[in-house]
Structure 1
Amino acid sequence: MFRKYKRRWQLSKARPGDGSPLQPYRLWQLFSRSLFSTELDGSVFEVDVRHGRDSSSGKRPAALYRDGVQVLAGNLPVAFPVPGGVIEVAVSEYGVKRMHLMGDDGREQVLRPHPRSQEGRRAAFDRRFPRTSAAIGAVGLVVLIVGLAVTLSAAAEQITRIEVVAQHVGTFVSPIHLSGWVKFALPAAGALAAVDRALRLKSTWMAD
């Protein structure tokens, strides 16, 4: 039920496009633009995401192009109706977290990233060096889990220092104490891990 209303809300955010042509992907847009595509019913559908824009911008941050012409645009998160389903688009502070074609038959498919984009370069690295890519992903996941454990432990300690809470559940002392340099290194490593997962469209609630 919740997913149904969420889908309806995201579809309502899609507005008619202005008919403008899709601009070529440029190298200097590496950190400000993501571009994905798929083929449906003999047409090429492309989703262009501009990370520097938000709902207050003059132009909407996400746009759907059919054969190079803008047909829909919307603020994120948004769902674009296409033949046979919808394309769900969402981002986090680390990048694109959802770029999936959800078919009417229930099948789910990730769109293909532009080869010059960050996502495309990460996908090319994964194809060329699959073992190294898998190792990077595994290390990143461990870093996120460790970071989550540290955050929850510190939060529990702070909460149980409140007098009312301490009277009922006692005081919790975190067993994890980080040295000075680790306090900076762990968040930095966690941010890099979150970015890597976003580039592979494998963002998790831990990364967000």
Structure 2
Amino acid sequence: MFKQWRRQRAVRRIEAGDGRPVKRFRWWQLLGRSLFHLEIADSTGRCSEYSVDVRQWKTDENGYVKVFLYRNGLQHAVSRAPAVFPVEGGAIEVAASNFGLKRCHFVSDAGVERQMHPDVHSAEGRRARFDERRPQLSRLIGIVSIVALLVGVGLLLQQIAVPILRIPPIAEQIGPVEPLIHLPLWLSIGLGLVAALASTERALRMRYRWWLDAAGN
């Protein structure tokens, strides 16, 4: 029920596109633009190519990331993330995090999901190509990202738990509480940067778990 309500609300946010052509991906847009493509067939078998263009710095007046949908190379619709665009046989769903996209899928009316393909020149496309060429090294990088974020989660939980456990009624029951780990400022900053890089790496592969990636956000 709640998911359906959110979906209907997202559909109501859609605005018509202005028909301008999708711009080519440029190398200097690697850190701030995501571009995905997918061909979708209608009931007659005729295919249309859809493109999703998201620029992290292009927000609306409320600070929401804007999502641009192109059909056969022309701007078809605009919404804010999270976005749902009804298309032939289903809908394209797009969701963003602070480090990129966490979802860019076509969901058919039958509930079958297909992830859209990243543009070969985008950061996501380059990461996917690296995964194909060096799968073992790619897997190792993915593991390192998870470990870095788990460390971040642990430190975040400590920061939340210690002040709570120091509340007088609780402290009277359990006694004085000190952090398990004391980190110098430079190390805290360093771990924060590592967590941000790990979240960015996972965003390039659209791997997102709220309990894990929130540590880098």
TM-score range with shorter-chain normalisation? over 0.9
Q: Is the 8 A contact 1:54 1:61 kept in 2?
A: yes
Query: Any runs of at least 4 consecutive aligned residues in structure 1 with deviations exceeding 6 A, and if so which?
Result: none
For the pair 1:55 / 2:78, whether they are aligned, the reply is no
SS at 1:90 equivalent: strand
For 2:138, the equivalent position in structure 1 comes to: 133
* Residue 14 (1) aligns with residue 17 (2): no
Residue equivalent to 1:190: 195
For residue 120 of structure 1, the aligned residue among 100, 116, 125 is: 125
Please report how far the alpha carbon of residue 171 of structure 1 lies from its aligned counterpart in structure 2 after TM superposition.
4.3
Are positions 1:45 and 2:50 aligned together?
A: yes
Answer with 161-170 or 15-24: which moved more.
Answer: 161-170
Q: Which moved more, 1:186-195 or 1:48-57?
A: 48-57
Q: Deviations over 1:146-198 (max 9, x none)?
A: 11011102221122222244245554333222244421221111111000000
Structure 1: where are the runs of 5+ without partners? Answer: none
Over the matched positions of the two proteins, sequence identity in percent amounts to 40
**How many Å separate the matches in 2 of 1:10 and 1:100?**
15
The amino acid that maps onto 2:4 is K
Aligned residue number for residue 26 of structure 2: 26
How many angstroms apart in 2 are the aligned matches of 1:97 and 1:143?
Answer: 18
Contact residue 18 and residue 70 of structure 1 kept, 8 A: yes
What does residue 207 of structure 1 align with?
A: 213
Query: Secondary structure, in 3 states, of the residue corresponding to 1:133?
Result: helix
Query: TM-score, normalising length from structure 1?
Result: 0.92
Equivalent-residue separation in structure 2 for 1:191 and 1:139 (angstroms): 13
Following superposition, the deviation at residue 199 of structure 1 comes to 0.5
Give the total of aligned pairs. 206
How well do the aligned residues superpose, as a CA RMSD in angstroms?
A: 1.7
- Which of 95, 98, 102 is the aligned partner of 2:107? 102
Letter in 1 for 2:20: S
Aligned equivalents of 2:25, 2:145: Cα separation in 1:
29
| Equivalent pair of 1:156/1:172 in contact (CA under 8 Å) | no
TM-score, normalised relative to structure 2: 0.89
| Structure 2: stretches of 5+ with no match in the other structure | 42-46
1:21: how far off?
1.2
